[in-house]
Amino acid sequence: MKVIKSYQDKKVLVLGLGKSGINAAKLLAKLGAKVTVNDLHAPKDPQVIKDLTTQGIKVITGSHPLELAKQNELMVKNPGIPYSNPLVEAAQAAGLPIITEPELAYEILDSPLVAVTGTNGKTTTTTLITLMLDQDRTAGRAYSAGNIGIPASQVAQKATTNDVMVAELSSFQLLGITQLRPHVAVITNIYEAHTDYHGSRANYVKAKLRITKNQTAKDYLIINWDSEEWRNLSQKSAAQVIPFSRKTVVPNGAYQQGEYLYFKGEKIIKAADIKIPGSHNIENALAAIAAAKIMGQNNQAICQVLRTFSGVKHRIQYVMTVNQRKFYNDSKATNIEACERALGSFDQPIVLLAGGLDRGFTFERLIPDFKHVRAMICFGETAKLMAAAGEQAGIKQIEFTQDVISAVPLAYQLSQPGDVVLLSPACASWDQYPTFEVRGDRFINAIEKLATEQEEK
């Protein structure tokens, strides 16, 4: 951890009492700042506030007092809080700089930084890179951090010059960076997402591109080459561009040719040897291979990870087999593109569980991907919209249910031996669940209950 003096006696407002906010507040206090934390809601655990106050941190909950904007010199904002929030708007009007927690983490970070963003695949890619860089490591270790669930400021305090931090960064987090400069940046893909937050797709794309805004010719940008738009976006970076492609040979990058994956002409691994299923995971593997090779990792370590890594929880996660039906949890599929990728990962008949928060989309785009779907179970705000797409695709068995818990026994009834039962909602979870993780965990619990009941018969 770098020792910096820029926060000594500085009045800093931390907006949001989530994990990143709590860790940012504690770090700022350690750096000598005068910290106030504000959240509309009090934490469920009162010990959280006690811990903060014992470190000299002021905590205000229940409202967003606008005068806080004039009483502080900097705001560290929870990335999920929109810029339309009245206190954020007041801070902007008062001229307060507004950053997010990864920016603060970067300021004290001693280790090299690899950063990953994208609409889909960023958690899997972040995990793969971390595992690859940690495999057979002789000094230090590789840490995952950021949007993957581990606050970057927490990792930055313990990462040394012998370590490396691999950070998953969301578009929300990237809006709040000023100096953050990854040595290696990865953009897995960019589709349409979070337009309710950003206001437009163009703004969303600009937010994603901020991952490379501070890079120089000494740094690297690894970017998906399978879209003309993404190729054009790479021209906006000052970094060395390293393309990856599943569809075409890119001699200066990572690519699939025939049965094998290559990096700059060097054969790395047979595609069929990668444990996690789906063409999208070929793309994730290519991006991770490029990052690992740039960071100096050997092929043996890279291949060991790709042959053994079974996937990230909630991302086309194999749960278990119940009477010859394989259950997969893809609760992280909070948009149409992610659901498309999940459906394309299987050749077996599928019983699809889908639906969730209504963001104003319809689902006709999924119709070509429904070719293996035997039956659909729809729930949430978009249940009828999802069912309408299924009807247009000619799916004969379409049922409605209350939630993922009640969907599991119904899916078992509709399935046959050899089928895949897939939760891939194509929607955010917030209409029924606080997070996609909670939705996925409820799904897993329901499967475990089903398995027990079947064993007892």
277 occurs within a structural domain: yes
Q: How much is the pLDDT for 192?
A: 76
What CATH number does the domain containing 74 carry? 3.40.50.720
Q: How much is the pLDDT for 261?
A: 98
Domain count, the chain: 3
2 occurs within a structural domain: no
User: Per the annotation, does 224 bind a ligand?
Assistant: no
158 occurs within a structural domain: yes
What CATH number does the domain containing 153 carry? 3.40.1190.10
Domain boundary among 98, 122, 137: 98
For residues 267 and 141, membership in a common domain is answered with: yes
194 occurs within a structural domain: yes
For residues 334 and 423, membership in a common domain is answered with: yes
User: Per the annotation, does 162 bind a ligand?
Assistant: no
For residues 92 and 108, membership in a common domain is answered with: no
6 occurs within a structural domain: no
**CB half-sphere exposure, 135, CA atoms < 13 A:** 24
User: Per the annotation, does 321 bind a ligand?
Assistant: no
User: Per the annotation, does 120 bind a ligand?
Assistant: yes
Cα 66 from chain centre: 32
For residues 122 and 220, membership in a common domain is answered with: yes
For residues 28 and 108, membership in a common domain is answered with: no
For residues 33 and 174, membership in a common domain is answered with: no
For residues 383 and 290, membership in a common domain is answered with: no
For residues 352 and 294, membership in a common domain is answered with: no
Residue 140 CA to residue 164 CA, distance in Å, equals 8
Q: Other CB atoms closer than 10 Å to residue 16's CB: what's the count?
A: 24
User: Per the annotation, does 124 bind a ligand?
Assistant: yes
Distances, alpha carbon 76 to alpha carbons 60, 157, 253, in Å: 15, 17, 37
For residues 120 and 169, membership in a common domain is answered with: yes
3 occurs within a structural domain: no
Residue segments in the chain with a per-residue pLDDT below the cut of 70: none
Domain boundary among 308, 337, 354: 308
**CB half-sphere exposure, 374, CA atoms < 13 A:** 18
145 occurs within a structural domain: yes
Residue 274 CA to residue 269 CA, distance in Å, equals 8
Question: If DSSP states are collapsed to H, E and C, what string results for the chain?
Answer: CCCCCCCCCCEEEEECCCHHHHHHHHHHHHCCCEEEEEECCCCCCCHHHHHHHHCCCEEEECCCCCCHHHHCCEEEECCCCCCCCHHHHHHHHCCCCEECHHHHHHHHCCCCEEEEECCCCHHHHHHHHHHHHHCCCCCCCEEEEECCCCCHHHHHCCCCCCCEEEEECCHHHHCCCCCCCCCEEEECCCCCCCHHHHCCHHHHHHHHHHHHCCCCCCCEEEEECCCHHHHHHHCCCCCEEEEEECCCCCCCCEEEECCEEEECCEEEEEHHHCCCCCHHHHHHHHHHHHHHHHCCCCHHHHHHHHHHCCCCCCCCEEEEEECCEEEEECCCCCCHHHHHHHHCCCCCCEEEEECCCCCCCCCHHHHHHHHHEEEEEECCCCHHHHHHHHHHCCCCEEEECCCHHHHHHHHHHHCCCCCEEEECCCCCCCCCCCCHHHHHHHHHHHHHHHHHHHHHC
User: Per the annotation, does 284 bind a ligand?
Assistant: no
What CATH number does the domain containing 439 carry? 3.90.190.20
Query: What digits encode the pLDDT tens for the residues 148-165?
Result: 889 999 999 999 999 999
For residues 94 and 35, membership in a common domain is answered with: yes
1 occurs within a structural domain: no
Q: How much is the pLDDT for 228?
A: 96
Phi (first) and psi of residue 354, to 5 degrees: -150, 160
User: Per the annotation, does 123 bind a ligand?
Assistant: yes
Q: How much is the pLDDT for 198?
A: 85
Question: If DSSP states are collapsed to H, E and C, what string results for 206-233?
Answer: HHHHHHHCCCCCCCEEEEECCCHHHHHH
One-letter amino acid at 279 equals S
**Domain range enclosing 207:** 102-308
For residues 51 and 121, membership in a common domain is answered with: no
Domain boundary among 250, 273, 308: 308
For residues 253 and 220, membership in a common domain is answered with: yes
